[in-house]
Structure formats: C-alpha cells, structure tokens
Amino acid sequence: MDAFSIEGTPKTPTVDFNSETGVIEIKGRSIPENSIEFYKPLVDWLEDYLANPAALTNVNIQLEYFNTSSSKCILDVFKKLEAIYKSGNEVIINWHYEEDDEDMLEAGEDYQSIIKIPFKMIEIEE
Amino acid sequence: MIFNLNKWYKEKQDGEILLSYKGDISSDLITDVLEIIESKLEEKDINSKIRKKVYNTLVECLQNIYHHLDELPFNDETLFNGRFALFLVTKVNEEYRISVGNFIKSEKKQILTDRLNQINSLTREELKSLYKLILNNHDFSEKGGGGLGMIDIAKKTGSKLEYNFYEHKNDYLFYSLSINIS
C-alpha cells in the first residue's frame, strides 16, 4: 500500500502516513474552514491500512493550533486507529504539546478519555 | 431607534487597535487576517498562552461568521452587500478584546440566545463536559462544529460571551459578539 503525504499550508497540517514503518504523523496547524474535505482522504487511507497494518502503529500528533471543526475529524482519525488497536495490533498515540500550552494538553486528555488506545503526552520545550 | 452600524464599529475602536475590518469575508481573507494577527501578536511581548488564546478565539469567531452569516437580500444597502462582516481585535490596558458582527435572519435569534445563555451559565468543568459530549456524540455538518466553537471559546478564555442583537430591516438582525481575553 502506498505511503500518503500532504504538505502543510498555513491552514492545514503536514501529513505523513507510512504503512511499511507504521509511522503516522500529523503536524502543524489544522484550521481549515472545511475540515471534512481535508480529513476524508486521511480517514480513507486508514480504512485501507486497517486490512493489513504494521505490527506497531506509531502515531505522532503535533499540532500548534486546531479549530473545532477539525476536532471531530481528528476524533474520526483516532476511531480508525482504535479499530486497528481493537483488532489486536499495537498502536500508540504520541500527543505533543508545547510547554505551557495547557489547552493543547487538555485537548489530548479529552481524546485520551474517549479513545481506548494508549496515549503518551509529550511536552515540547520551546 | 434604527441601528447605526458605523456607530457600533466606531465605538468598538477603543484602546489600541491591532486589527479592524469591515467588508466581505472569504476563506482567503481569513487566511490573510490570521497571518496578520499572528505577526502582530508576535511583535508584542506577551506570553504564549495569551497569544494562543487570542489566535484561537479569532479563528473560531471568523469561521463561525464564515459559515453562518446571512447575506442581506437588497441592493439598496450597497455598503453591506455580499458576505458582509465586521471584526476588531483591540487591546485595552492588559486585556485583549475580540469583537465581531454580522447580519443574520431574525428567526435565528431565539436559538442563538438560548445557546449563548446556556454557555454563559456553565462553569468551566461543565463546559469541558459539554464539549466532550458534543465532540463524541453529535454529527457535524459540512458547515462546521455543531456549536463547539462558542463552547471552546468560553472554555479556553474563561470569559462570558457578550452578545447583542440589533434590529435591522426586513427580518434581518445585526448580531454582535465580544470576548475578553486576559
């Protein structure tokens, strides 16, 4: 299965999904007006990946900003990852947040309480 | 008394104006505005917490307008035609203030009032719970976040959402919202 990547823009994140290494990254900012349109190919890719995932899927989320319309789409991404986890594969979500960004830490904790996958909260020093 | 939009705009220009805009609102305009406010905030030596809260609040306010404004139907209002909105980011003393305004159909007033009053009545913990409930249980429309934007603003800023409705004509209202961030 092909790797999937999108370059970041001022309103959308850099995306790197690699089925061979199992590394899945979303970095930058996610504040598009139409988040559903942006996230659909990501969710579709994960749906295909679910059929034959790597033994360990390592997810790195490092967002500086995301808007509320992205928040549901990010949850949809996590729900696909949860399905991979529930089918017996290892998945870990590394939630990065900048030092002192309590709102971003809290957002990660919200997802952690909804999604039954191991989360690791990683503080980035400025 | 007939609502005077220019007077509203002028009254909001209090303190130091970081940004003020009156006119058509598009996705590209929002991109440009966010870039401007980001560099303005960086020029100021404020802590990153406040900077992020101001930026976040502005994102949610502008995208809320983008998705939900109603265009006035009549060409006689040449100034306010199209996807018209106003917004300002000001600083009074140590407090940042975001004010936005746009036209909506009068029929939306009740549902908006109820929603804003509900948000304003909740504690931070209750806002947090409501946010998670909506995030996890509601379908979102193409238009956006199922009302999450306003909850997110109230939760992150800890401020009450100050709103007003001003009578316009032909079943339209001017809806304004202000948020303080400190």
- Angle formed at CA B130 by CA B95 and CA B148, multiple of 5 degrees: 60
Give B32-47 pLDDT, tens digit per residue. 999 999 999 999 888 8
Q: Tokens 């960004």 correspond to what residue?
A: A101
- Look at phi and psi of residue B99 and say left if phi exceeds 0, alpha if psi is from -120 to 50, else beta: beta
Report pLDDT for A101.
Answer: 94
Q: How far apart are CA B180 and CA B95, in angstroms?
A: 7
Query: How many of the other CB atoms lie within 10 Å of CB of A32?
Result: 24
Contact between B67 and A68 using a beta-carbon 8 Å cutoff = no
pLDDT tens for chain A, residues 1 to 126: 899 999 999 999 999 999 999 999 999 999 999 999 999 999 999 999 999 999 999 999 999 999 999 999 999 999 999 999 999 999 999 999 999 899 999 999 999 999 999 999 999 987
- CATH architecture designation of domain B5-106+159-181: 2-Layer Sandwich (3.30)
Give B111-139 pLDDT, tens digit per residue. 999 999 999 999 999 999 999 999 988 66
Give B161-182 pLDDT, tens digit per residue. 999 999 988 789 999 999 999 9
Give A3-26 pLDDT, tens digit per residue. 999 999 999 999 999 999 999 999
Contact between B132 and A114 using a beta-carbon 8 Å cutoff = yes
> Which residues contact residue A58 at a Cβ distance below 8 angstroms, ignoring those fewer than 6 apart?
A21, A22, A23, A24, A92, A94
ipTM (interface predicted TM): 0.93
- Note whether A52 and A1 are within 8 A (CB): yes
Report pLDDT for B76.
Answer: 56
Q: How far apart are CA A82 and CA B103, in angstroms?
A: 42
Report pLDDT for A57.
Answer: 98
For residue A96, give the CATH number of its domain: 3.30.750
- Note whether B147 and B154 are within 8 A (CB): no
Measured between beta carbons, which residues in chain A are less than 8 angstroms from residue B52? 65, 101, 103
Q: How far apart are CA A86 and CA A114, in angstroms?
A: 14
Report pLDDT for B165.
Answer: 96
Report pLDDT for B141.
Answer: 58
Contact between A10 and B145 using a beta-carbon 8 Å cutoff = no
CA A70 to chain B, closest CA, distance in angstroms equals 8
Q: How far apart are CA B20 and CA B140, in angstroms?
A: 31
Measured between beta carbons, which residues in chain B are less than 8 angstroms from residue A71? 135, 145, 148
What is the rounded radius of gyration, in angstroms, for the C-alpha atoms of chain A? 14
Per-residue confidence band for B92, with pLDDT thresholds at 50, 70 and 90: very high
CA A36 to chain B, closest CA, distance in angstroms equals 7
Report pLDDT for B144.
Answer: 54
Q: How many domains does chain A have?
A: 1
Measured between beta carbons, which residues in chain A are less than 8 angstroms from residue B34? 10-11, 31
Contact between B59 and A101 using a beta-carbon 8 Å cutoff = no
Which DSSP category does B139 fall into? Answer: P
> Which residue of A9, A38, A69, A104 is the best one to mutate when testing the B interface, meaning the one whose CB has the most B CBs within 10 A?
A69
Q: B137 CB near a chain A CB, below 8 Å?
A: no
Q: How far apart are CA B69 and CA B78, in angstroms?
A: 17
Q: Could you tell me which residue, B63 or B139, shows the higher pLDDT?
A: B63
How many CB pairs below 8 Å do chains A and B form together? 71
Q: Which domain holds residue A11?
A: 4-124
